[in-house]
Structure 1
Amino acid sequence: MSARVRTPTARVCERCGRAERWDDDLEAWQLDRDDGEKLIGNPHCLHEWDINGTFNPVAENDS
């Protein structure tokens, strides 16, 4: 049994609510949208990303 490391595909700022998703084609974080509106949050915020709360980067392989 081996483990593999995963990376997050979405993140939300705990301070201002800015939401982003990972775009594999662009290889960059992109603003998420809700009904076509960009979830930009506060552009002057020093973003505190909620990626370490419930996200577990280690996934067990079924081998």
Structure 2
Amino acid sequence: MSDLERLIQVGTTKRCMVTITPPRERTCERCGRTDVWRPERKNWIVDGDVGNPYCIHDWDINGSYNPIEK
């Protein structure tokens, strides 16, 4: 049974609190643009090099990031 299947099973049989931690930074795999989340502005802010303004931005979310805190 996978971790996700266990989490779903526990969630359906017991009430459990899960903390979701969203990413605070992201980098485009295509042009290298880096954005940083600014909670006070409730928006992503370009940090440093802007990258290619015409890029559709393929963010580096590749499965290694886990938003669920244990």
Using the aligned pairs only, state the percent identity.
Answer: 42
TM-score (norm 1): 0.77
Q: Which has the higher strand share?
A: 1
Q: Which has the higher helix share?
A: 2
Choose the corresponding residue for 1:7, options 22, 25, 32. Answer: 22
2:41 and 2:62 map into 1 onto residues whose CA distance is: 24
Structure 1 runs (4+) greater than 6 angstroms displaced: none
Q: Cα offset for 1:55?
A: 1.0
Q: Cα offset for 1:53?
A: 3.6
1:28 correspondence with 2:43? yes
User: Partner amino acid for 1:12?
Assistant: T
2:40 and 2:62 map into 1 onto residues whose CA distance is: 24
| 1:8-53 deviation digits (Å, cap 9, x = unpaired) | 1000000000000000110000011xxxxx3111000010001234
Q: Which runs of 5+ in 2 are unaligned?
A: 1-15
Q: Which runs of 5+ in 1 are unaligned?
A: 33-37
Choose the corresponding residue for 1:41, options 22, 47, 51. Answer: 51
CA-based RMSD of the aligned residues comes to: 1.4
